[in-house]
Chain A
Amino acid sequence: MLVLSRRKGESVMLGDNIEIQILHASGGQVRLGIRAPKELAVLRGELFSSVRQGNHEAAQMALDAAEVTELGKLLKKKGQD
């Protein structure tokens, strides 16, 4: 990982069209300003991680075909209630 020190108001460029600026830093918290092309996803790291984790859980073998059949029956039953 590249590590840089920056002061308030200074920025870092990623390539030529992504800029991350330090707006404010105090009490263990840093406020960032991010300028990036609008098609680029900018997400808090933990949100991206939770989506990735959710996808991995969805792809796990824990859910097998027989269970899906049972879930389908339950859903249909619920629909008729």
Chain B
Amino acid sequence: MQTQTTQGKPGSIVVKTLRFGDVEVPSAERITLLRALAGFPDTKTLVMLTLADQAPFHWLQSVEQPPVAFAVLPVELVRPGYTLKLPPWDRGLWDRQSSPEILALISFQRDATMNLAAPLLLDPRHRVALQVMNQAGYGLKEPLFGEAAARPQVAATA
């Protein structure tokens, strides 16, 4: 498919986005998905955009699909002690020494929720990411505000 990028200054790309207009990003900051996110087979590359006054949220913007951007939050900020238990197929793909940054996808329907069952792992140094199925018993829609459930929600086991 046609990639939605044009050459910017040397060493950078211009990413077309629906939310933020054309954004120039250093080429080296592109993040390669080791496997497409479920439901988004055409997005292979992301860039992380951080808007002024939006910390601690970031946006993961699709390079290939201008309308596609995910608001994410580092899990450690909202769930200290969050644990990962990866199924074999994810362990096989995420074969990395260093511990990843773990990002939760945020969605905002009636309430703000975060997906702790299928977080995104990011290796910031090698710029690769993978959405995994965490089998440690967290929910797909955990409240962003309010207490963590004393017992994890229905486990997202395979």
Contacts and interface: CB of A to CB of B under 8 A. Distances in A.
Contacts of A68: 51, 54, 57, 59, 71, 106
B39 interface: yes
B109 A39 contact: no
Contact of B107 (A39, A40, A41, A60): A60
Interface size range on B against A:
35 or more
B105 A58 contact: yes
A55 B107 CA distance: 8
Contacts of B71: 58, 63, 68
B118 interface: yes
A52 interface: yes
Nearest to A42: B158
B92 A54 contact: no
A37 to B, nearest CB: 8
B70 A43 contact: no
A51 B133 contact: yes
B115 A58 contact: yes
Contacts of B133: 41, 43, 47, 51
Nearest to A41: B89
Contacts of A67: 108
A55 B60 CA distance: 12
Contacts of B51: 65, 68-69
B25 interface: no
Nearest to A36: B89
Contacts of B55: 72, 76
A39 B89 contact: yes
A55 B89 CA distance: 20
Contacts of B78: 75
Interface of A: 38-44, 47-48, 50-65, 67-69, 71-72, 74-76, 78-79
8 contacts: A39-B92, A43-B133, A58-B71, A59-B67, A72-B53, A72-B54, A72-B57, A75-B73
The 4 A-B residue pairs with the shortest CB-CB distance, nearest first, are A52-B39, A63-B108, A39-B92, A52-B38
